[in-house]
């Protein structure tokens, strides 16, 4: 069975609605857009991510025979509809903001223009992919802003929500400026740099902590980072110093030590002093354990001598904002604008473009959301990535995307860069969009 | 590339530590246990889940040639070690609490007894599987307790953290007492009952809401549940009533309506009154939108006439407790007890058993965590599931597990059943365990 790339990774109602579209021949062009309705309380901006996965999903969309047989066995679907599913491919266009773009509520980061059944079916998985990648990229960007100049590494896979979450979190974190990840499969799949230290269990499996350090570095001479808090942090630091001196004759360098518990600021100062006194100022201090942007900010503010951080659970689960209020909504069908007016959840119809203006220092100044053909003199953020089911030319690789994100973060206004809630960034809705909404409301009952 | 079942879904340090174990011939028996260190603030108990996935992962553990070639290309590993990885299989034993068991901090729900390198490698993915399934089962159990007699359906895949999270959340929710899920792939993979209604986009794609309802039910005559809040809830309810009356002549029954926005309690009462007045008391009302155990409790307390609920994002992300403070820790190596003493994170060594006593009403009374051979007269909760890498006999299927969980929830003391923080359930640590910890501390430096 396919896990992540099966079209059965959808909601049942997508298939029952498609069966009705099929019966009615409702295959005209639909336009859906994906956007956030609001920011979580602890976010001043979001970072778009997941487009690469979304495009890959659309390109490879097809039902295989095992899946069709199973659908048939449910007794919910007629043969003529299942025959249609067998032939189904994604034939539409995709417009999107590039990954790594900073965005705000009501700004679409992805638009699907396709025959209604295709655009409907893919809703659940497109949200699933874009939502999570964006969630973690947005959290990771805050960590990057909170610890300038420090090496940040994703340690979160073990408490990420399943396999794909671990992989996509590593990717989103790297995209947003992390140095890399501990997750081997993310190195394999995405080419992300891998980092690792050692676990407490390695120390515990030895009778003597010093033997554990000695054996580890002889087996991994380029990866000599030791965990030193298993029993007594400063005592372990002294063992590392003794070892480092002995290794100098062998031409092996100790790269660092890791602190994972207790008061990091106090331990880091004590260990730094011990290392420096021994002339080991090139040995780095890494820290992990309950890290997030708030802990990073506080450790930085205290001048804690830590060179790098492992950020794990709270990054991969985006614990202070574990989901975004986001949606993939029908904006147009068969040439007519569409929207829902549900209480508290009304949407704006039509195909949209987002324009951004920067100030004379190059910092972001304001955005405008408008209908696609209402051309403005700002920078348009939404571009075409797929036409008739095929990608339009080469896509940026992950390192290009990472540079795009770094530039976007460098252009954030000062107020948005802090971890505290800021005045909302100005995003205006064009009059042309409001007019279109009024038109849409007249078309239906 | 394999996504979820590759052994590369691990942390880099597992492989570098294994290389050192390999060099030293450290392949003696290690015992690791998985447990929670503490409860999140909003949980009075946890529900064990994910064992089936954990056993499947261990059974199928092997590196394929593509993975080994990639590891070789990283330049981090020597050929003799890669040759060892090629032959590596999981050959150990697994003891565990059955899925659906209620448990508490410091009670191991899984124990791995295996040669050290095997037990070390699997740490990251075992935590990844057990943590998330347990997280969602524990949240789902609270929803089930908050809405007795109501039909609960998992709607959360779209905002779950990736594909596997959506699938495993559906499974955990069903295990804990949900009626089913909207996620088609979870029906396919786990045999979970599927439920679905219709989306706003289906209504919006039609010029007339009443046409949308009419067409949907004629294409899906057994799935007639209509979303009625796209434009005006009560007006849509009247359209459903007109349709239901017309359909009576065709022998097609409207099954229900769904409310997804606004004040659910007010709308549900108004819609129930309209339906009842029209003699349609068999038409059910379903509700969705921002549901969780707190919303369910409040709607139930208000006597809201809702027959079933779609619970989505907040369930699949466990938003009020998006992770558990849990760990997989070395407890014994080569016959000697082991533990770490890190500040605030010290663990108890040894192979453990958990005993539970019930009161005369059959309700849970107290637990004791002790060393395995310290036999007690309570009910032991930890049982053997795998020996020498093979499952020991047939495993319970998901419906048996679901019944086991229902029984466990029925035996919860009253205080633990509420959503408010309760006095902690009494879990004692046996004196024999404390003695073993003292022994362990004497063995290392």
pLDDT per residue over A284-305, tens digit each? Answer: 999 999 999 999 999 999 999 9
Q: What sign results for the dihedral spanned by CA atoms A210, A215, A216, A222?
A: positive
Taking each helix axis from N to C end, the angle separating B209-219 and B233-248, rounded to the nearest 10 degrees, works out to: 40
CATH code: domain of residue A211: 3.20.20.70
Whether residue A436 is contained in a domain is answered as no
Query: Residue A6: inside a domain, yes or no?
Result: no
Give the domain extent around B379.
12-136+321-443
Provide block-wise average pLDDT over 10 residues at a time, chain A (445 residues): 85 98 97 97 97 97 97 97 98 98 98 98 98 98 98 98 98 98 98 96 95 97 94 96 94 96 95 98 96 98 97 98 97 92 83 98 97 96 98 92 98 96 96 92 81
Core vs surface per residue A54-64: b (16+ CB within 10 A) or e: bbebbeebebe
Instruction: Report helix, strand or coil for A110.
Output: strand
Structural contact between residues A261 and A229, judged by C-beta atoms closer than 8 angstroms: yes
CA dist A406 and A399 (Å) reads 10
The answer to whether B338 contacts chain A (CB < 8 Å) is yes
Contacts of A323 (CB under 8 A, 6+ apart): A131, A135, B159, B313, B314, B317, B319
Largest CA distance in chain A: 84
Does A329 sit within 8 Å of B196, measured CB to CB? no
Beta-carbon contacts of A293 under 8 Å, excluding residues fewer than 6 positions away, are: A139, A142, A143, A145, A146, A147, A419
Contact A183, A159 (CB under 8 A): no
CB pair distance less than 8 Å for B158 and A9:
no
**Enclosing H/E stretch for B13:** helix B12-24
Inter-chain residue contact A164 with B168, CB threshold 8 Å: no
Q: Angle at CA B201, nearest 5°, toward B197 and B202? A: 60
Distance CA B349, CA A204 (A): 11
| Cβ-contact A168, B162 below 8 angstroms | yes
Of B316, B332, B360, the position where a domain reaches its end is: B316
Any domain includes A373: no
Residue B224 to residue A249: CA distance in whole angstroms: 79
Residue B43: predicted pLDDT: 98
Do A122 and A13 meet the contact criterion of CB atoms below 8 Å apart? no
> B231 and A204 in contact by Cβ < 8 A?
no
- Measured distance CA(B246)–CA(B250) in Å, rounded: 8
Q: Please tell me which residue of chain A has the smallest CA distance to B444.
A: A207
Residue of A nearest to B81 (CA): A219
- Tell me the per-residue pLDDT of B276-291, one tens digit each, with 9 for 90 and over: 999 999 999 999 999 9
Residues B60 and B163 in one domain: no
A191 in the same domain as A214: yes
Question: Are B9 and A195 within 8 A, CB to CB?
Answer: no
> How far apart, in Å, are the Cα atoms of A170 and each of A177, A260, B42, B277?
11, 20, 28, 56
Taking contacts as CB-CB distances below 8 angstroms, the residues of chain B near A199 are 13-14, 17, 120, 123
CA dist A99 to A71, A311, A394, B90, Å?
35, 22, 14, 40
Question: Beta strands of A206-247 (E only): which ranges?
Answer: 225-227
Burial of A388 (0-12, 13-18, 19+ CB in 10 A): exposed
Q: Determine contact: B346 vs chain A, CB below 8 A.
A: no
- pLDDT category of residue B315 using cuts at 50, 70 and 90: very high
Domain assignment present for residue A292? The answer is yes
Per-residue pLDDT at B345 exceeds 90? no
B199–A165 CB contact, under 8 Å: no
Beta bridge partners of B311: B154
| Residue B310 lies inside a defined structural domain of this protein | yes
A 92-151 residues with CB < 8 A to B: 116, 120, 123-125, 127-129, 131-132, 135
Cβ separation A199–B17 shorter than 8 A: yes
**Are residues A128 and A227 both part of a single domain?**
no
Residue B96, C-beta contacts closer than 8 angstroms, at least 6 positions apart? B48, B51, B54, B109, B110, B111, B382, B383, B385
Q: Give the other-Cβ count within 10 Å of B363's Cβ.
A: 13
For A6, the closest of B185, B344, B443 (CB atoms) is B185
**Most A CBs within 10 Å: which of B6, B11, B85, as the mutation test of the A interface?**
B11
Across the interface, do A220 and B167 touch by the CB < 8 Å criterion?
no
Which positions 316-335 of B are in contact with A (Cβ < 8 Å)? 317-319, 322-324, 326, 329-330, 333
The residues pairing with A285 across neighbouring beta strands, listed in sequence order, are A257
Q: Which chain B residue is nearest to residue A330, measuring alpha carbons? A: B201
CA–CA separation, A230 vs A239, rounded Å?
Answer: 13
| Helix, strand, coil share (%) of chain B residues, nearest 5 | 40, 20, 40
Distance CA B263, CA A320 (A): 27
Q: What is the mean pLDDT of residues B241-247?
A: 96
User: Does A187 share its domain with A305?
Assistant: yes
Distances (CA, A) of B72 to A205, A323, B2, B174: 26, 38, 18, 42
Distance from CA of B383 to the nearest CA of A (A): 24
* Minimum distance, in Å, between the CA of residue B440 and any CA atom of chain A: 10
Cα distances (angstroms) measured from residue B221 to each of A227, B198, B229, B279: 63, 13, 21, 20
| Domain-located, residue A387 | yes
Q: Is the Cβ–Cβ distance between B383 and B95 less than 8 Å?
A: yes
Query: What pLDDT sits at residue A1?
Result: 62
Q: Tell whether A387 and A412 lie within a shared domain.
A: yes
Strands (E), B37-125: 46-47, 93-96, 102-103, 110-115
How far, in Å, are A103, B51, B95, B135, B158 from residue B397 at the CA level?
A: 46, 12, 18, 20, 26
Q: Residue B57: pLDDT above 80?
A: yes
The fraction of chain B above a pLDDT of 70, given in percent, is 100
Task: Look up the CATH number of the domain holding residue B426.
Answer: 3.20.140.10
Residue B190 lies in a domain: yes
CA B354 to chain A, closest CA, distance in angstroms equals 23
Using the beta-carbon criterion (under 8 Å), do B160 and A184 form an inter-chain contact? no
Output the pLDDT for position A346: 79
User: How far apart are alpha carbons A436 and A410 in whole angstroms?
Assistant: 35
Which of A163, A252, A262, A316 is the best substitution to test chain B (most B C-beta atoms within 10 A)? Answer: A163
Closest chain B residue to A158 measured between Cα atoms? B128
Q: Are residues B291 and B355 in the same domain?
A: no
Q: Which residues of A68-77 are buried (b: 16+ CB within 10 A; e: fewer)?
A: bebbeeeebb
Restricting to A residues 31-70, those with a Cβ less than 8 Å away from any Cβ of B are 32, 67, 70
Contact A219 B12 (CB under 8 A): no
Tell me what the mean pLDDT of segment B56-83 comes to.
Answer: 97
Rounded CA-CA distance B263/B318 in Å is 23
B329 forms beta bridges with B33
- Rounded Cα distance between A380 and A235, Å, is 58
Q: Rounded to a whole number, what is the distance in Å from the CA of A148 to chain B's nearest CA?
A: 25
Q: Are B42 and B421 in contact (CB under 8 A)?
A: yes
| Chain A hits for B116, Cβ within 8 Å | 205
Closest residue in B to A219 (Cα–Cα): B20
Alpha-carbon span A396 to A382, nearest angstrom: 15
* pLDDT attached to residue B1: 63
Q: Is A310 part of any domain?
A: yes
A234 touches chain B (CB under 8 A): no
For residues B352-371, average pLDDT: 97
Q: Which of A3, A340, A444 shows the shortest C-beta gap to B164?
A: A3
Q: What are residue B180's DSSP bridge partners?
A: B153
Last residue of a domain, one of B316, B339, B360: B316
pLDDT tens readout for residues B165-193: 999 999 999 999 999 999 999 999 999 99
Mark which residues 360-419 of A lie under 8 Å from B by CB: none
| Chain A, nearest residue to B160 by Cα | A128
Yes or no, beta carbons of A204 and B340 under 8 Å apart: yes
Nearest to A227 by CA among B123, B114, B340: B340
B169/B311 same-domain check: yes
Number of structural domains (chain A) is 2
Same structural domain, A258 and A394:
no
Residue of A316, A320, A296, A315 whose CA lies nearest to A306: A296
Burial of A207: CB neighbours in 10 Å, binned 0-12, 13-18, 19+: middle
CA–CA separation, B120 and B32 (whole Å): 8
- Decide: residue B82, CB within 10 A, 0-12 exposed, 13-18 middle, 19+ buried: middle
**Backbone angles phi and psi of A177, in degrees to 5:** 125, 0
A178 and A248 in a single domain? The answer is yes
Tell me whether B340 touches chain A (CB under 8 Å): yes
Using the beta-carbon criterion (under 8 Å), do A157 and B11 form an inter-chain contact? Answer: yes
**Cα separation of B316 and A323, whole Å?**
10
pLDDT score for B402: 98
CB pairs under 8 A between A and B: 376
Interface test with A, best of B12, B190, B348 (most A CBs within 10 A): B12
Q: What is the C-alpha to C-alpha distance for residues A54 and A133, in angstroms, rounded to an integer?
A: 10
pLDDT value, residue B361: 96
At A39 the three-state DSSP class reads: coil
Compute the distance between CA of residue B131 and CA of residue A400 in angstroms, rounded to an integer.
Answer: 34
What pLDDT score was predicted for residue B340?
A: 81
Residues B73 and B177 in one domain: no
**Nearest one of B55, B75, B90, B158 to B383, comparing CA atoms:** B55
- B350 contact residues in A (CB cutoff 8 A): none
Question: Which residue, of A316, A333, A367, is where some domain finishes?
Answer: A316
E strand or H helix at A237: helix A233-248
Is the per-residue pLDDT at B339 higher than 90? Answer: no
Locate the chain A residue with the closest alpha carbon to B1: A189
CB A249 within 8 A of CB A220: no
Band the pLDDT of B343: cuts 50, 70, 90: confident
CB-CB contact of A408 with A100 (8 Å): yes
Name the minimum distance, in Å, from the CA of B390 to any CA of chain A: 22
**Are B183 and B299 contained in the same domain?**
yes
Maximum Cα interatomic distance, chain B, rounded to a whole number of Å: 84
Q: Give the CA-trace dihedral at A77, A83, A84, A89, to 10 degrees.
A: 120
User: Are both B158 and B285 inside the same structural domain?
Assistant: yes
Sheet strands side by side (includes A256-259): A180-181, A151-154, A308-311, A284-287, A256-259, A225-227
């Amino acid at each position: 069975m396919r896990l992540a790339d099966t079209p059965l990774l959808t909601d049942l109602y997508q298939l029952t609605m498609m069966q009705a579209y099929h019966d009615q021949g409702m295959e005209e062009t639909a336009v859906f857009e994906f956007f956030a309705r609001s920011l979580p309380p602890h976010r001043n901006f979001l970072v778009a991510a997941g487009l690469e996965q979304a495009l890959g999903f659309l390109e490879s969309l097809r039902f295989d025979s095992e899946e069709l047989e199973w659908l048939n066995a449910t007794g919910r679907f007629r043969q003529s509809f299942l025959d249609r599913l067998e032939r189904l491919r994604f034939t539409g266009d995709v417009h999107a903001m590039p990954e790594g773009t900073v965005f705000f509520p009501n700004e679409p980061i992805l638009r699907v223009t396709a025959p209604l059944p295709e655009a409907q079916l893919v809703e659940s998985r497109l949200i699933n992919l874009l939502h999570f990648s964006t969630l973690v990229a947005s959290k990771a960007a805050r960590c990057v802003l909170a610890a300038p100049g420090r090496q940040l590494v994703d340690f979160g896979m073990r408490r990420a929500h399943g396999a794909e979450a671990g992989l996509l979190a590593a990717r989103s974190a790297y995209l947003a400026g992390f140095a890399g990840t501990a997750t081997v499969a993310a190195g394999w799949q995405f080419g992300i740099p891998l980092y690792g230290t050692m676990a407490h269990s390695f120390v515990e499996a030895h009778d003597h902590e010093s033997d554990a350090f000695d054996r580890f570095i002889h087996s991994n001479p380029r990866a000599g980072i030791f965990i030193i808090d298993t029993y007594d942090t400063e005592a372990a630091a002294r063992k590392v110093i003794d070892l480092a001196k002995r290794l100098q004759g062998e031409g092996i360098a100790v790269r660092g030590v890791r602190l994972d518990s207790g008061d990091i600021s106090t331990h880091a100062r004590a260990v730094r002093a011990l290392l420096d006194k021994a002339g080991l100022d090139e040995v780095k201090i890494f820290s992990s354990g309950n890290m997030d942007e708030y802990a990073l900010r506080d450790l930085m503010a205290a001048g804690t001598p830590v060179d790098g951080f492992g950020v794990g659970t709270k990054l991969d689960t985006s614990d202070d904002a574990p989901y975004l209020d986001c949606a993939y909504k029908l904006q147009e069908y068969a040439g007519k604008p569409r929207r829902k007016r549900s209480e508290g959840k009304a949407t704006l119809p039509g195909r949209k473009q987002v324009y951004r203006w920067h100030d004379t220092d190059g910092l972001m100044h304001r955005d405008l959301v408008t209908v696609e053909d209402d051309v403005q003199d700002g920078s348009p953020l939404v571009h075409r990535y797929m036409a008739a089911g095929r990608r339009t030319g080469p896509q940026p690789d992950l390192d290009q995307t990472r540079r795009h994100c770094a530039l976007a973060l460098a252009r954030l206004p000062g107020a948005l860069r802090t971890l505290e809630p800021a005045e909302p960034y100005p995003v205006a809705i064009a009059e042309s969009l409001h007019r279109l909404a009024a038109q849409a409301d007249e078309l239906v009952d």
